[in-house]
Amino acid sequence: MSFFIVNSFQNQVQTQTPLQPITTVYTQYNGTYFPYEVKVTYYPGNMSNSNLGFPSDWIVTNYNQEFESVVPTSCTYLQQGVSWELPADSFGGGTPIPLSTPASMLPGASALGEKAALVFLTQDVGQPLGVTLADNLLFVEEDSGPGTILAVNPISGNVVWYATGLASMAMQDPIVWNGIVYVPVGDIGFTFTALEHALRNESSGVYRGSVYGGIYAFNASDGQLLWMRFTFGENMPDPVVYNGILAYATGSGCFVGLNATTGSTLWITKLPGYIDSMSSLNYYVGSNGTVLFIAGFTLLKYPYGILVAVNSENGKVVWQSQLPSTYVPFNTGMGDSPATVIQSSGIILKDTIANFRNGTVDTVMFAVNATNGNVLWAINLGRGYVPPAFKASMILANGNYAYVGIPSLGSVAKVSIATGKIIWETRLPDLGIPPTLPGGPRGAPVYYHGLLWVAAGSHIYVLNPDSGKVITMYYVGGRFGIVDPVISGGTIFLTNSYGWVIAIPLSQIYPDWNS
């Protein structure tokens, strides 16, 4: 026997069968209808019975300001290493593709070619970014159906709850704060109207997002929908939460601050002609206590890309920073990658592609003063063919050095944070690069137990951080997009463009990792 609970305020219908999942359907919030019904399915019996020792919050993409995605745990199983594969894409109506499938068999490969088929799968079906570990759960988003969020027991790989029917694609690692999970959604398209504005050089009228953009807030424990708001333009980048303020940036050049608990608007800063594609927000706390929210934007006119910092309390622009004139950003590069913030030294790191010529570009990395946006240094990491889709890479800051991927060259570089000097640069073997294949890595490496762990192509690479030497490479299959591996104890958690979430013991990848 089933019974129904109806709440007319939320226009939700909840279905529960004894000993079975609890399902809740939402069709509107606060008088606004959704384009698709949001269906939340909750499996109470799949929750872990013990405290895993995770942090309660994950307030910025890839865990913290420096993108060091190493999460502490007190769980013996995770410390020893767990192994499972979850066909996450199936929960949103997608088709998880076996990891051993060659690119020639992917959707659209016969019409688009293998490179484009791999990219489309990442952007439209699988999960471009990594997972979130917080509040005793693993959270992951999926693009399919059109957008899905899952909460998973990280020990067993069993789904605790999931929500389908989000207004558009869900492309990020979810943000978690105070028992709330925030999921931004948006798409990569431009409307014909936006194209007309671009052709008339009316850059202020161009925005990205051809369908609905929005942000959802769910209860982290059971998936109950707390609030939702639509956005003008896509909302693909991750928001950031600090001091109870949730801030996000959109494809229409809106920088918005919300009450993180209620979703009510605190401030809106409009920057016409600015497009935040996938540059998730970061934050910096100044010596005077002022908190800045930071994001990268693409512009259709000079300087073609810009880094913007706003005051967290009122949204007022504090500074804008651009590359030295010797480097001209190209395509969406500046609006794609998030900025890495080194709180202790007050330095911000960013990368982009620049100086387009004959199908090739430079990959440029630069550092700015977090207080005033002044450029401290800029370096050319190398020239190669234009990488498709996500045009840059996420940067890991660890100690005195930064580690960054160069997608057009299939390389990883180690750079001095103080001077910008390149310490080493290593080409990853068996990684296909443009113009033939998508290249990588796009996600940041992870520094753990004196080793660098990198997800790129179909492999996990383990590098010596001192020399850059590849110690070992472990075949997983499928494709890793903008994947920052997340490590907890002796387990590495990964997402894959083929529609899978994967847990692998580090000892399986490199038996001597803990020696």
Q: Rounded to 5 degrees, what are φ and ψ at 111?
A: -95, -35
Mean pLDDT of the chain: 93
109: pLDDT strictly greater than 60: yes
More confident residue, 11 or 394: 394
Q: How does pLDDT run across 449-482, given as a tens digit for each residue?
A: 999 999 999 999 999 999 999 999 999 999 999 9
How many residues belong to the chain?
515
User: Is the peptide bond between 441 and the residue preceding it cis, with omega within 30 degrees of 0?
Assistant: yes
More confident residue, 111 or 209: 111
pLDDT of residue 226: 97
Cα 282 to Cα 443: distance, rounded to the nearest angstrom: 16
Confidence of residue 8 (pLDDT cuts 50, 70, 90): very low
Angle at 238 between CA 123 and CA 282, to 5 degrees: 135
Cα 226 to Cα 219: distance, rounded to the nearest angstrom: 7
For the chain, give the percent of residues with pLDDT over 90.
85
The pLDDT of 278-300, averaged and rounded, is: 96
pTM, two decimals, is 0.94
398: pLDDT strictly greater than 50: yes
The pLDDT of 102-114, averaged and rounded, is: 93
Q: How does pLDDT run across 203-250, given as a tens digit for each residue?
A: 888 888 888 999 999 999 999 999 999 999 989 999 999 999 999 999
Q: Which of 71-75, 144-148, 498-502 has the lowest mean pLDDT?
A: 144-148
104: pLDDT strictly greater than 90: yes
Confidence of residue 12 (pLDDT cuts 50, 70, 90): low
Q: How does pLDDT run across 407-446, given as a tens digit for each residue?
A: 999 999 999 999 999 999 999 999 999 999 999 999 999 9
Which residues share a beta bridge with 4?
Answer: 15
For 493, the enclosing helix (H) or strand (E) is: strand 491-496
Confidence of residue 49 (pLDDT cuts 50, 70, 90): confident
Answer for the pair 238, 183: CB distance below 8 angstroms, yes or no. no
Cα 480 to Cα 129: distance, rounded to the nearest angstrom: 8
**What is the C-alpha end-to-end distance of the chain, expressed in Å?**
56
pLDDT of residue 3: 29
Q: Which of 78-82, 115-119, 503-507 has the lowest mean pLDDT?
A: 115-119
